[in-house]
Amino acid sequence: MVGALMKVHVVVMPKQNVLDPQGVAVRNALKDLGLDTVESVRVGKFLELEFEELPDPAKLEEVCRDLLSNPVIEDYTIRPD
């Protein structure tokens, strides 16, 4: 019998002070489709990682910083499921 896998969710979003052209395009499309009251949209990434056992938190931080996000223009959060 295989044990339950543990999940970690990583959310990567553009930093608040960085222009998000994809978010602007989505906002404009939503307005064109009748959602006139939408003010802003930010587009990011949601990653779900599954592990047999949870990794070292420092190693997970390193991977999120160095591989899954661009720390110059993006922030990330790590959430255990």
Domain boundaries, the chain: 6-80
Mapped onto helix, strand or coil, the DSSP state of residue 64 is helix
Q: What tokens were used for 78? A: 């790590």
CATH no. for 6-80: 3.30.1280.10
Residue 52: the pLDDT is 94
Nearest to 78 by CA among 8, 7, 6, 15: 8
Q: Which residues of the chain have pLDDT under 70?
A: 1-2
pLDDT of residue 42: 97
pTM of the predicted structure, to 2 decimals: 0.86
* Rounded Cα–Cα distance for residues 23 and 30 (Å): 10
Alpha-carbon distance 71 to 79, whole Å? Answer: 18
Q: What is the pLDDT of residue 4?
A: 85
Q: Residue 77's closest CA among 67, 62, 64? A: 64
Identify the pLDDT of residue 2.
61
CA–CA dist 61, 38 (Å, integer): 33
